Amino acid sequence: MKLIKKEIRGVVVVEVHGKLIGGPESSDEFHELIKGLLDGGKNKIVINLGRTSWADSRGIGMLIGAYTSVKNAGGDLVLAHVIDRINGILSVTRLLLIFRTFDSDDNAVDYLEKGS
């Protein structure tokens, strides 16, 4: 898993490349990235899953943990470019009731800019 971070109009977009699979190294990297953003006052975050080929249950758990941390910090975290395989997991687990999803980074950023 490779994480690429960029900022669009004050909103941080994190692209997840590869498989979103929980494990000591990837979980720590993802958690530290989110923690660093929050510590830096960045609490509007888009997770772009367009280049994510798969997510296992621990990977989904990483998204839930990030969402909870961002919400507890007074911010919001949304998903963009959710591929069908991951969307299916989110649907079956009813996590689509929690996560807002968008077809593009721009639509997600627009939503977060307006104060969600």
Distance CA 22, CA 13 (A): 20
The number of folded domains in the chain is 1
CATH of the domain at 46: 3.30.750.24
Average pLDDT over residues 12-23: 93
pLDDT digits (tens, 9 = 90+) for 24-80: 777 889 999 999 999 999 999 999 999 999 999 999 999 999 999 999 999 999 999
Structure tokens at 59: 């990977």
| Domain range for 31 | 2-113
Residues 6+ positions from 30 with CB-CB distance below 8 Å: 1, 3, 62, 66
Q: Are 101 and 78 in contact (CB under 8 A)?
A: yes
Q: What is the pLDDT of residues 99-112, one digit of tens each?
A: 999 999 999 999 99
**CB neighbour list of residue 108: distance below 8 Å, 6 or more residues apart:** 11, 13, 46, 78, 79, 80, 100, 102
